[in-house]
Amino acid sequence: MRRASAPRNRGGGLSCPQLTGGLHARLGPPQIILHKSSHGPLLSLEYYGIMCAVPCGETEYPQERNENLKRKATEMNAIKVTTKAQLDALYEDWSLTVGGLDPAEKNLKELLDWVKEFTPLKREDVYVIAGAVMNREYGLTGTNAYPDENCTLVCVKLADMERPNAVAVPRFQIGGRWFTDIVDNNARREETRRTGMEG
């Protein structure tokens, strides 16, 4: 059994990590354990205290990446998310999400360039969500709420990726999560909080 130490980044959870200048400081190996299951070999990963298991067949990387996967972002479209309909679309898509990323153009392009290291993109759209929007549309309150200011979630839709499975494991290197998991976890915590207050 081989383990790789994960960086001590406490950016997970509801409170946004301090906005960073880009992705480079986030890169680092997750803790990886290879084991067998009834479904075949699985990789268990722990990053930011989050456990995940994925089939090994979805974690293979090509020995040589094509140069076209390394091309720089040239037609980026930054979309400010303000409505529940936009959030619902990201939820249904299971969009790749990075929290606490400074939404400056340079950093959004860095994220797209990182994604293109693993898969070509059909379109170069990035979705920027303020913490205040998450609180308003999902009814997050008290300690379960995001800071209203200086808290940003940035998403890239899996539907916009040619090979979305290719980012399933590498996303942990930059603290990437699925938007659907974030919303569901927030809802569970909100329900627990409210139940505790009523009890």
- Each residue's pLDDT, cut to its tens digit, for the chain (199 residues) gives 433 333 333 333 344 554 555 665 555 544 444 444 443 444 434 333 444 444 444 433 343 344 444 444 458 999 999 999 999 999 999 999 999 999 999 999 999 999 999 999 999 999 999 999 999 999 999 999 999 888 999 999 999 999 999 999 999 999 999 999 999 999 999 999 888 775 5
Determine whether 179 is exposed, middle or buried from the number of CB atoms within 10 Å of its CB (0-12, 13-18, 19+).
buried
Domain extents in the chain: 74-194
Task: Give the DSSP per-residue string, 82-116.
Answer: -SHHHHHHHHHHT-EEEETB---HHHHHHHHHHHH
CA distance 187 to 21: 29
Report helix, strand or coil for 171.
Answer: helix
pTM value > 0.75: no
CA distance 191 to 181: 15
Distances (CA, A) of 32 to 12, 107, 177: 18, 27, 17
How do beta strands 42-47 and 50-55 pair? antiparallel
